[in-house]
Amino acid sequence: MIGADAIVKALEDEGVDLVFGYPGGAIMPLFDRLLEAKFQTILPRHEQGGALAADGYARATGKVGVCIATSGPGATNLVTGIANAFLDSVPMVCITGQVASPFIGMDAFQEVDIFGVCLGVVKHSMIARRADDLYHMVREAFDIARSGRPGPVLIDLPKDVSIQAVQALKPWEEDPSLPEPVSPIAVQKALRLMHEAERPVIYVGGGVAIGQEVEAFRDFVEEVQMPVVATLKGLGSLATDHELFLGMLGMHGMKAANYAVQHSDLLIVVGARFDDRATGKLAAFAPNAKVIHLDIDPAELGKLRRPEVSFCGALGPVLKALAQPFEKTAWLAQCQEWKASFAWNYDAPGEGIYAPRLLQMLSRAAPQRTIVTADVGQHQMWVAQHMQLHHPCDHLSSGGLGTMGYGLPAAIGAQMGNPKDRVICVSGDGSIMMNIQEFATLKRYQLPVKILLFDNQRLGMVRQWQELFFNERYSATDLSDNPDFVLVARSFGLDALRIERKDEESLGVNFLLNNPGPCLLHVRIDPQENVWPLVPPGASNLDMMEG
């Protein structure tokens, strides 16, 4: 056995069913041993695509995603995907090749200090020094990646260590972690605040999905009967068609959600971190509300808003302890009135395609178990606002980093991890070009991913900000020289269709949902269409621009 064999055995013992990897010189010994592995190696067409696919796989399955690349440019091409996972707390193990140990620090061919490069965007980093340590190192990396607040772990593997003989496998023993007890004093204080509150709101973030506490959260909501708002990553924690759900809050949040939060006197914050996109001007966010904050990461408690009561640890036991019925009839009626009054009007004028209406039609026609991945831009916000979502693991979106090019690789990872489920990637003409090479991955593995591509021939979100806040000085946002996306998709072997009129929307939905293989629906939309509402920078969430 050599070092590469020890890595393969560790991955097998972790129950890994697939990895995303791109070969090269320094990592070649490991790829040689992957030929006999019990799991599958998926070849993306760019290392960034592989890292983002591992991210999508992890989010959609709840498992740890794995990506592998060679040294130098292979490793640096992973960095965006690693940072994306770090900011959204996604468990990943990333293995990079490195030049042989004697050449480290000598400016050898394809040498980069990837350990140093990634220090700020990983949960933990390791450099392999001895083949005997590799089995234990990989098992430890998985444990770190998925425990507590999850995140990516980097293993840098010098080439000589990967071919070194293994004298003895350093054994791995699970460290059984006992759950922290829930403080009865904190529970009583929180329950008193919940009883005293007249206008409580539950504010849910991505921690519910990350902690796999969706059922516990839903049981809590059904018991307390309080209105719910969600961050981008919290969407689906409570089904978006639930009567208590008011919508996403924040910069592009729904009006009822922002109104409820701003008028609340108590925020029960579950697995959320008071992100600036959710709060708007922090000093003006829910100014009259006391706060009960639940999070697994102690660094988030009191970081941006000091809570009256906080709970650090797994969410499930705390939610169960706080689940009591509360009578808030007048407040619920007020929230339902806002929800009805501010309901979206999908009957847009004109003969062109209206993106929010098309997305609503698609989500209503799709099977309930449909995974939607979104790229970054206007279409990302339209997905969050207008698609029906039944589970947070069915909505994959780059929240913290805002990575253009995320949607297609994430859809590949989600489809690989859930081969029987429908996967739809919603992208834009700017984002799709970031990782369009992954069309080849769809074709190679015959993945039935459906791509809905909105094309306004602009970098739409940047153009919208230039229109509103930069005196219509449009700089570097014109994409009118886009290729013919239908021909591009067909050249990769994908089926493709173009629509551009309102009366073709049903045709497009049927094309996406009834096509058996990978396909692309190219949708032309008005370049001047904006995302509303919009909270301007530095403003309160009550100061929404509505177009």
Which active-site residues does the annotation give?
47, 109-110, 159, 461
Strand (E) or helix (H) holding 158: strand 152-158
Indicate the burial class of 147 (C-beta count within 10 angstroms; 0-12, 13-18, 19 or more).
middle
Provide the sign of the torsion angle of the four alpha carbons 11, 13, 15, 18, taken in this order: positive
Q: Which of 174, 128, 123, 164 is nearest to 144 (CA)?
A: 123
Output the DSSP codes for 41-70. Answer: EE--SSHHHHHHHHHHHHHHHSS-EEEEE-
- Type of residue found at 504: E
**How many other CB atoms sit within 10 Å of the CB of residue 63?**
18
Contact 82, 121 (CB under 8 A): yes
Which residues lie below 8 Å from residue 2, measured CB to CB, with a gap of 6+?
29, 33, 131, 162, 163, 164, 165, 166
Q: What is the C-alpha to C-alpha distance for residues 31 and 9, in angstroms, rounded to an integer?
A: 13
Indicate the burial class of 365 (C-beta count within 10 angstroms; 0-12, 13-18, 19 or more).
middle
Burial 408-441 (b: 16+ CB within 10 A, else e): bbbbbbbbbbbeeebbbbbbbbbbbbbbbbbbbb
- Type of residue found at 469: F
Q: What is the C-alpha to C-alpha distance for residues 111 and 73, in angstroms, rounded to an integer?
A: 9
CA dihedral of 429, 433, 435, 437, whole degrees rounded to 10: 120
Q: Bridge partners of 157?
A: 97
**How many other CB atoms sit within 10 Å of the CB of residue 456?**
24
Provide the sign of the torsion angle of the four alpha carbons 361, 365, 368, 369, taken in this order: negative
